[in-house]
Structure 1
Amino acid sequence: MADQHRLTVVTKGRGSIDITDEVARLVRNAPAGSGIAHVFVRHTSCGLAITENADADVRRDLETLMQRWAPDGDPAYRHDMEGDDDMAAHARSLLTGVSISVPFAEGRLLLGTWQGIYLFEHRTQGQQREIVVTLLG
């Protein structure tokens, strides 16, 4: 049995947004007692990740690493139709990925103590992002 939902997240530009509570709310109301929450973002210039939720420095450091791995405005990029951050955002999306799966039971996500689910915005300007959450149980 599958239960599917859509979340809209408005970003303020590059950075991470904790979406754990929104996904957890959907799981609490799921008809299935246990299963998998599959979370998918419908865009190619942002991504999803499960990472540290206790210290925001972790997410800032991840952004620093992404800047090194996929810098804005690299002259080797051919794809720059939407600006200097265009190709870098697509590359960063590959690094973070566009989907994650988290098991749930008894109406709760089975994340580890220090884990959270984050949308990583890779564009420098704010965007409206759509996330599909499918609860399989």
Structure 2
Amino acid sequence: MSTPAQLAARLRAEADDGSLESFCLDTGIDLLVLFGSAHVDTTNANDVDLAYSVDFSRAKADRPNLLDVATAFYARYGDGIDLMCLDTADTVAQHEALQKCELLVDPSNSKYGTLQMMAAREYINTAYRREFELRSLMS
């Protein structure tokens, strides 16, 4: 079993040599980012957090679900990985994952930037709702 530091180093090495991109594309993913504690401080991280987006150019029947992605990643890297699908994550999770991350795979060279800007806009546009909910909980 690999430590989070070893897993993060392996992911970075595979991103550099292109094998991670090939693996992701074969799995049906066209965006992968490293975020969370393993991105910031691998020595104190408990796990490796990865966020991904599905390749929507594939036919709907050929797109992977979370179980498909988890099975592929766990078979390759073990169970020290937490996965989040950016396509179904809530606004705050998308924003956190895409603003404070390391880009590992984006063959289009544009999907990351597009999703990052969309997540930031949605986060800003919904701030009043989150603030209202917090105030409601405190009263």
The normalised TM-score by structure 2 is: 0.26
Q: Which has the higher strand share?
A: 1
Q: Which has the higher contact order (CA 8 A, sep 6+)?
A: 1
Structure richer in helix, relative to its length: 2
TM-score, normalisation: structure 1:
0.26
